[in-house]
Amino acid sequence: MKMVLLSRLYSAGHMLLEGKLDMKECFTDNPWEAIDEIRQAECILIGNQRFDRALFNEAVSLRILAKQGSGTDNIDLEAAADKGITVVTSPGANAKTVAEHVMMLILAASRNLHMYDKNVRRGNFGIRSSCNESGLYGKQIGLIGYGRIGKEVALYSRAFGMNVSVYDPYVKDADGISCCKDLDELCTASDIISIHVPRTPDTVGMISAEVISKMKNGAVLVNCSRGGIVDENALYDALRSGKLHAAGIDVFANEPASANNPLFSLDNIVVTPHSAALTKETADAMSIVTAEGILKAIQER
């Protein structure tokens, strides 16, 4: 079987497939740049590239589409089903690692880590007495979404002595954690808000200017879920005005994010390159789950 890799399959999973598939690396953020290879591929591995119906129509030999990750918002699942194409992902393999990244961003944003680092490197040791940072103990953290990652963030947050509440219309019992009746209730009560929902037509633009206006003055917003859920223009305005103390953002509406993104001009935001799931350990785990899923799909077809 010919397999085209539009994204890197990490080493542990790659080793599982060596000698079993004819693998060709065509790394690109734009699948159309590898369209000739896509037309011949029976199996394709993607990362965050968009694979829409037009691409499925061109992929005339495709039998299996695999993604090293759990989200499927970049895959037209309806088109895949129409074409009889098996979609393989690695759900759950990265939950703990993403939750760790969330906590890192919460701490960095709340304690102004990036500004400390920048100023100390410039010789401004006096910034230590600015006392503009915020601790976590006793604070209220609101989780929008309570799936695998949300549950891990709740666990870690409790270890920091934080109070946890959840808004998730699909969850009735959040392990004894307070469930908010709607998004407004969570926003008005939370010192820190962390987003853990998939990107769907219902969640795109979910964190709008109106929603942000209902957040506490000086709140911290963290998003390690998907870009487009937060209105970036509204977030920029809230950070620039001081409505929000800070934000920690791992995902963007357009990726790769442009260096000209207005958010990057602000000092009260910590950003990472959609890397919350990508530790060495988790990369290997996701690659193994993905490779095993590919082999299973081959056997079942």
Active-site position among 101, 199, 226, 245: 226
Give the β-pairing of 178-179 and 244-249.
Answer: unpaired
d(CA 287, CA 47): 11
- Cβ atoms 43, 23 nearer than 8 A: no
Q: 232 catalytic, yes or no?
A: no
CATH superfamily for domain 2-93+280-300:
NAD(P)-binding Rossmann-like Domain (3.40.50.720)
What is the spatial distance between Cα 121 and Cα 127, in angstroms, rounded to a whole number? 11
pLDDT exceeding 90 applies to what percent of the chain?
A: 91
Q: Please indicate whether residue 114 is annotated as part of the active site.
A: no
Residues 282-296 have pLDDT tens digits of 999 999 999 999 999
Q: Where are the domains of the chain?
A: 2-93+280-300, 95-271
> Across residues 210-235, what is the average pLDDT?
98
Same fold for the pair 2-93+280-300 and 95-271: yes
When pLDDT is averaged across residues 208-229 and rounded to a whole number, the result is: 98
Kind plus residue range of the DSSP H or E element containing 44? strand 43-46
Is residue 245 annotated as part of the catalytic site, yes or no?
A: no
Task: Give the model's pLDDT for residue 211.
Answer: 98
Give per-residue pLDDT as tens, 5-18: 999 999 999 999 99
Q: How confident is the model at residue 149 (pLDDT cuts 50, 70, 90)?
A: very high
Catalytic hit among 101, 199, 245, 274:
274
- Hey, which residues does 179 pair with through a beta bridge? 166
DSSP string, 150-187: HHHHHHHHHHTT-EEEEE-TT-S-BTTBEE-SSHHHHH
User: Over the stretch 26-73, which tens digit does the pLDDT of each residue have?
Assistant: 999 999 999 999 999 999 999 989 999 999 999 999 999 999 988 898
Q: DSSP readout, 86-146?
A: EEE--TTTTHHHHHHHHHHHHHHHHTTHHHHHHHHHTT-GGGGG-------TT-EEEEE--
> Which is more confident, 70 or 140?
140
* Average pLDDT rounded to a whole number, residues 87-114: 95
Active-site choice (25, 42, 255, 292): 255
| Burial annotation 104-131 (CB, 10 A radius, 16+ → b, else e) | bbbbbbbbbbbbbeebeeeeeeeeeeee
For residues 142 and 166, is the Cβ–Cβ distance under 8 A?
Answer: yes
Cβ partners under 8 Å of residue 52, min gap 6: 76, 79
Number of neighbouring beta carbons within 10 Å of residue 188: 13
pLDDT at 174: 79
Mean pLDDT of 163-188: 93
Name the architecture of domain 95-271: 3-Layer(aba) Sandwich (3.40)
